[in-house]
Amino acid sequence: MKVFRDSRLFISGFYYEDPMEGLPALTHCGEALCFQGHRLRAHQHTGFEILYLARGGIDWKVRTQTFPQKEGDLIVFYPRESHGTVNPACEETHQLWIGLDLDHLGTEGRRLARLLQRGNARLLSGCHAVESVLRAIVRQIITPLPGRKAVVLGYLRLLMTLVEQHLRLEKEMPGTSALPYSYGVQKAISYMEHHPTRRIPLSELAAVATFRQPANFCARFRQEVGETPAAYHFNLRLAAARDGLLQPDSTITEVALRFGFSSSQHFSSAFRRTFGTTPRLWRSRSLLSPDKDKHP
């Protein structure tokens, strides 16, 4: 294993060459966290390399062409194909990559190689499931557990299946992404949806979205969603509290406090501003007419 750090360019990571004895299909793998100013000089490999971008954006130069890779994308580099970065990353990037000799992975490997070459595949969008597989492979490599070769081989086959799935998806629906937002923003939204009963600090949401700086996360969230994380979660809590009003045994104050509002007055003001009526009137109308549309 080679570990690299450069305090001037703020880059850290590791690289494994021939990481597992007796498994020639896996030629190399690695992970890196890079900041503005880092460049990757042109290089090549004997087999395929696939690189997943967990965060940020990179402009790659492959031979004479430039390919912009965004968060959640998987980029494919072909055997003996020179590739490197064009410009310094404009923001923090987090990359995971793996090198494969597909001929050593049997029928599935050869089929994937044909699919890649036939379609001249380069960028696959929305490949978020690949990240966990790449991380699992690295964990197996660095931990000398019994039977890890068979486990890594299973992960490699799963990885090939996921790549093939995205190749077919791109062919049927070009440019389709599996998520409406980038992976980090989507993770934060899912986290908010599962926690409607309390206020969540911005630092906590940024950590869930794997952003080092809360301000950067807030800016990305607002750019994609159109409002701040605080406003988005506030509206989620307000909608959940509205549903909570359908429980007749709970007072309005109890509902307000249960969903993170400081008082019933705070809850009522926000409710009226958003839905055009008071919580009490909405509850009365909804409980009297349960089969009608409850939204004002």
Q: Is 248 a domain residue?
A: yes
Q: From CA 103, how far away is CA 65, in angstroms rounded? A: 27
pLDDT of residue 293: 44
Residues 54 and 16 in one domain: yes
CATH number at residue 211: 1.10.10.60
137-158: per-residue pLDDT in tens? Answer: 988 988 888 899 999 999 999 9
How many domains is the chain partitioned into structurally? 2
The mean-pLDDT minimum among 79-83, 112-116, 175-179 falls in 175-179
CA atoms within 13 A on the CB side of 156: 29
- Please say if the pLDDT value at position 239 is more than 70: yes
Question: Using the 8-state DSSP alphabet, how is residue 19 labeled?
Answer: -
What is the chain's length? 296
CA distances from 189 to 7, 185, 209, 270 (A): 33, 6, 9, 21
pLDDT of residue 1: 58
Q: Is 294 a domain residue?
A: no
Taking residues 71-78, what's their average pLDDT? 92
Q: Which two tokens stand for residue 52?
A: 């997943």
Taking residues 23-36, what's their average pLDDT? 88
Phi, psi dihedrals of residue 233, rounded to the nearest 5°: -70, -35
- Please say if the pLDDT value at position 194 is more than 60: yes
pLDDT of residue 143: 84
Domain around 37:
2-172
CATH number at residue 134: 2.60.120.10
Q: Which of 220, 243, 247, 244 is nearest to 232 (CA)?
A: 220
What's the mean pLDDT when you consider all of the chain?
86
Residues 22 and 153 in one domain: yes
- Please say if the pLDDT value at position 174 is more than 70: no
Residue 60: other Cβ atoms inside 10 A: 19
Q: Which of 48, 44, 46 is nearest to 63 (CA)?
A: 44
Burial class (CB in 10 A: 0-12, 13-18, 19+), 223: exposed
Taking residues 246-264, what's their average pLDDT? 91
pLDDT classification of 90: cutoffs 50, 70, 90: low
Contact call for residues 256 and 244 (beta carbons, < 8 A): no
